[in-house]
Structures are given as C-alpha cells and as structure tokens.
Amino acid sequence: MRTVRALQRLRGVLVRPCPPPLFVRSWSVAQSQSFSSSSAEKPMPGNSMLRHLTSKIKATGPISVAEYMREVLTNPVMGYYVQNDMLGPDGDFITSPEISQIFGELLGIWCLSEWMGAGKPSRFQLVEFGPGRGSLANDILRVFSQLRGALGGAAVSVHLVEVSPKLSQVQAQFLTGDQSQVSASEDEPVYRQGTTTTGLPISWYRNLDDVPRGFSIYLAHEFFDALPIHKFQGTEKGWREVMVDIDPDEPGKLRLVIVPAPTLASTQLIQADEKRRHVEVCPEGGVIVQRLANRITEDGGAALIADYGHDGTKMDTFRGFKGHKLHDVLASPGSADLTADVDYSYLRRMAGATVACMGPVSQKDFLKNMGIDTRLQVLLRNCADPSTRAQLIQGYDMLTNPLKMGERFQFFTMLNHSRLTRPEPEQSKGGKKMAPVPKKGPAPLPVAGFSELGLS
Ligand code: SAH
C-alpha cells in the first residue's frame, strides 16, 4: 500500500532528540488530582488579567465561561497564548509532536496519502491551526522533502493560523531559520511570510478566512481544545448557563455561578434530546468546522483534527494547567492554560452532510494503522545511541499506551465526498451509457489511519 511504501522510503535519520515525556493535559488525570492552590501564586500576569476581568464583570455583570476563556487565553495584550511559549519541559504542558518526531512523520505521510487519494492536484496547501512551536510542521516538511519525488512537482505551500505573535516568532525561527518578514501593518491578513528551510513558501494568518482558497490539507492538533466553551447545567426550571462572577465574600476572587434566567446561549446551543445534566459547547469550534466543510466541499481537500475528546458523553472537562500540574481554572487568570475536551459529536453535527466524516478513532489505533511500529523499528535499526533509543521507545509508549495518550487522544477527519466514491462511468451525449458499458473507475483508496494498512 502506498503509505507503507512511503514509510519504507523515509530514511531513518534522527533529526531531533525527544524531550523526556512530561505531563499531558489529560482528563482522567484531572479527575484523580486536586487543583493546585491559587492565592499565593505569582501575581503577574494573573493580577492584571484579574483586574481586567473584575472591572468587566462590575460594569456588565457575570461573563460566560466562553468569554472568560477567550479573554484569558487570547486577549491581544495579556492573553496566555499571546504572551507565552507554554510548551515543553519549562512550560505548562507537552504535546505529541513535542514528545516524538514519529508523530509528525506519520501525519506527513497522512497528508501525502490524502493528496494522492484526491488525484494529486497540482497545487497543495498545507494549513495548520495553532502550530505551537512548529514541531509538527517541521516533521511534516521533512517528510515532504524526503519524499519530494512522490510529490511530483506539485506547488506546495504552507499556511499557519496562529493568534500568538510570540509563538509565531518561535515557529518562524524554527521553520525558516529566520528567513521570514513581518508585514508592515498590523492589519494585514498575512502578518508574516517567508520560505521554509526546505524551500517552500510559508505564511501566517490570524483567521482561517484569510488563508487563500484552493486544495488544502488542514491540520489541527490540540487546537480545538483551546477554543472557548459555554457551560450549561440542567435545572428544574430548564437549562441554565454557568457564568463567571466576582466572589462577594472575597472581591479579589472569582467564582462560578448558575444564572437564574435563560441566556441566548442556553436557549440556542443545547440539543432538544440532550440527556446529560452538565454540558459544554464550543460554538467557535463549530463555526471553524463549518467553514472547513465549506472549503473542502468547494475546493477539495481534507481536515484532520486530533485532540483529547469524547463523542458527546462527557460533562465537566473544563480545566487549567500550569507547570505540568492541574490548576484551578479561576485562579491567577492568564498565568495558566485553560482547556476543555473536544466534543466530536458536536463537530460532526456542525460539519453537516456536505463532507464525509470519519472517526473519532483513538490515537493508538490511528498511529498503529499509520504504521508506527514499522517506523519505530526503522529508527531503532539506524540508531546506536542507548539514550536516544530509550527516548524513542519511551515516546512510542507515551503516544500509544492506552493508559497514557493512546486512548484519550482521538483523531477525526472531514473529507470531500468524491474521495470515497468510485468515479462514475462516462456518459454518452444523450445521457445514455455508451456500449459496451464502461466499468466504473477504480475503488477509492482507503483513508490512511482510519483503517488498517495492508502490508502487501
Ligand atoms: N499544535 C501545537 C500547539 C498546541 S497549543 C502542538 O500540538 O504542540 C494551542 C495552539 O493554538 C497555540 O499555538 C496557540 O497560540 C494557538 N491558538 C489558541 N487559540 C487560537 C485561536 N483562537 N486562533 C489561532 N490560534 C490559536
């Protein structure tokens, strides 16, 4: 099969060391640990954010959890993502692409495989949402460079949707080796441009709407979990929204309250047949998925969303992380990461019928289907250094072990319907089949990662 062949052609070069696996933002750990204490924590930037939030609440009343999350994470002046490089050993959490290069390599093969499955269009945009430090893109671009022949001269370009100026700088340094320029005006839709170290044009945007139209493979790894959620609670009087208010007993502290009357969100965002008593909904994620579905339908391509999540079953997953520990979501706002599990059933509903959706499948199954075992063996064969070998094995275990990231992280894809259908036989001018009746086109290639690869 083509993904296996691509794997075999990937040389076993070790290009980056894996950091020691640290804390991942996982829900079952959240349930078993208590929140770290908050009041004695370092005052900045939490305090300025806290002042900003309390004056907002004093002026207009309690704010939704979504507004709280949006302000805390992406406020243009003091937002957590805007100010920090939060990934890695010295940050607040670690992600799969940071743990092992194999993760990005297999996603690179997935991108190539979907481009081939779409009939190898001559222009190919790789679009990544929230690229963090750029490690995933870097590993994918290395695969593209090594398998240049397979890309057969397609015009490949890279497009990063990133809200954080700080992280975009880290990404640019890593991916272009400083070969990028910031746009003259802050209002430009493309705020940074350059050339990757592998020679491809690369651009940075704040919004998907600014990314040029055309055949694209969209990737979002640990991006949707950072988007603001609304929280709701079922009460005797019906659904009510949970909001953030000032604690009347301690005016410097925030607390969660259930508002007595319905809000626009509580009347619009809950499904009529909802069975859970606590529900989290991420309308911003829904809008992005709708826009992706529209682009994939009109321009061709696919989206791969990978995150910890559930299929419409979990209830209270909103949590904070700081220094690789759980952190009270309301304490020192702006100093810690906030996150909530992705509800894939909601994303599927928002995607609608214009695209084909597959998944979610567990990270373990996805990576195994992509050939992670073969890739690990190749790397180990080419590596004599005992500590690097140990790190490769540790990284593999972290990514695939069901007790670590193997089950909690899940993969979901949206595809153009044509990707899964056999081309119809040609019709004669009058709409009648020509004689002899031509056979239908070849069966579509299976979607890598979502079904097991044949090893023939
Ligand atoms: N994908 C990376 C980083 C995950 S952290 C990895 O797996 O390692 C979340 C990323 O999304 C960060 O790069 C953050 O700056 C970005 N981000 C968060 N909210 C965003 C938004 N609303 N628009 C664009 N980027 C956002």
Q: What is the pLDDT of residue 86?
A: 80
Residue pLDDT, tens place only, 64-102: 999 999 999 999 999 999 877 788 777 888 899 999 999
Residue pLDDT, tens place only, 365-376: 999 999 999 999
Could you count the other beta carbons within 10 Å of the beta carbon of residue 235?
11
169 lines ligand 1 (CB under 6 A): no
Ligand 1 centroid, distance to 69 Cα (angstroms): 14
Q: What is the pLDDT of residue 409?
A: 97
pLDDT reading at 150 higher than 80? yes
Ligand 1 centroid, distance to 55 Cα (angstroms): 27
Kindly state the tokens that stand for 76: 């243009």
Enclosing H/E stretch for 57? helix 46-60
pLDDT reading at 400 higher than 90? yes
Pocket test for ligand 1, best of 81, 166, 174, 342 (most atoms within 8 A of CB): 81
CA torsion, points 73, 31, 362, 69, in degrees to nearest 10?
-10
Kindly state the tokens that stand for 148: 């240049």
Nearby residues of 131 by Cβ (< 8 Å), 6 or more positions away: 137, 160, 162, 167, 171
- Mean pLDDT is lowest, of 66-70, 186-190, 223-227, 405-409, for 186-190
pLDDT reading at 272 higher than 60? yes
Q: What is the pLDDT of residue 33?
A: 32
pLDDT reading at 430 higher than 60? no
Q: Looking at ligand 1, which residue's alpha carbon is closest to its atom 10?
A: 130
Helices (H), 275-319: 283-299
Query: Residue range 206-220: average pLDDT?
Result: 98
Query: Residue range 363-386: average pLDDT?
Result: 95
Separation of first and last alpha carbons in the chain: 6
Mean pLDDT for all residues in the chain: 88
What global pTM score does this model have?
0.90
pLDDT reading at 247 higher than 90? yes
Q: Looking at ligand 1, which residue's alpha carbon is closest to its atom 23?
A: 163
pLDDT reading at 103 higher than 50? yes
pLDDT reading at 148 higher than 70? yes
Q: Are strands 230-235 and 278-281 parallel, antiparallel or unpaired?
A: antiparallel
* pLDDT band, residue 2 (cuts 50/70/90): low
pLDDT reading at 32 higher than 50? no
83 lines ligand 1 (CB under 6 A): no
pLDDT reading at 402 higher than 70? yes
pLDDT reading at 267 higher than 90? yes
